[in-house]
Homo-oligomer: A and B are copies of this chain.
Amino acid sequence: MSRVEGKLLGMSLRHALLGLLVDHPASGYDLLKTFDTSLANVWPATQSQIYGELAKLADAGLIVVSEQGPRGRKEYTLTDPGLAELRRWLTETEPQRTTRSDVLLRVFFLGVLTPRQARDYLDGQAAHAAELHANLEALDDSIDWDDDDLSVYGRIALEYGRRFAAMQRDWARWALTQVKSK
């Protein structure tokens, strides 16, 4: 009985947790901090979700409680099957590319607004993207990247965000010219 074979649906939170436990053991609380900071823009997760998923992962033997601390703190460590599962996910499964875009969905319906209102929307998007881009540039500059794995892949991830923000900013500015010309 009991969760014999967890079906392999999305479940990326599961793999995010496994991935974060590769380098060092951590508690749910520690992991929550990571989700709220460095992973916030890639895979947001709530406290509730994290504690629940950690329990399931422990249940499945992919992680174990390796140490208990004060205040009921439980430090989890990745097991060999856990690492194997992480590798399997990375090499044998295709990333879901079904990204819903609220920003873009709205564009489809801007025709129901006045051109003025539509431009306000696009202008807001441009401003937001420009701000994000500036923040990411500043962040990039502030980090002293060396060439260990964490730095290499961390930097690649940050560069994705930087390019994405720039693309959105430029697209929104271009879109403004299309609406203005009407």
Does A139 count as interface, using CB distance less than 8 angstroms?
Answer: no
Cβ of A161: which chain B residues have Cβ within 8 Å of it? 104
Does A87 count as interface, using CB distance less than 8 angstroms?
Answer: yes
Where chain A touches its partner, the secondary structure class is helix
A90-B121, A97-B102, A121-B90 known; A108+B152 contact, CB < 8 A: no
Cβ of A174: which chain B residues have Cβ within 8 Å of it? 159
Contact A42 B100 (CB under 8 A): yes
A159-172 CB mask vs B (1 if < 8 Å, else 0) is 11101100100110
So how many copies of this chain end up in the complex?
Answer: 2
CB distance from A153 to the nearest CB of B (A): 5
Does A105 count as interface, using CB distance less than 8 angstroms?
Answer: yes
Q: How far apart sit A163 and B178, CA to CA, in the bound complex (Å)?
A: 16
Cβ of A167: which chain B residues have Cβ within 8 Å of it? 163-164, 167
Given A44-B100, A95-B106, A107-B160; 4 other pairs, CB 8 A cutoff: A15-B109, A44-B98, A95-B102, A163-B171
| Smallest CB-CB A-B distances: 9 pairs | A111-B149, A19-B109, A95-B102, A167-B167, A95-B103, A96-B102, A156-B175, A107-B157, A43-B105
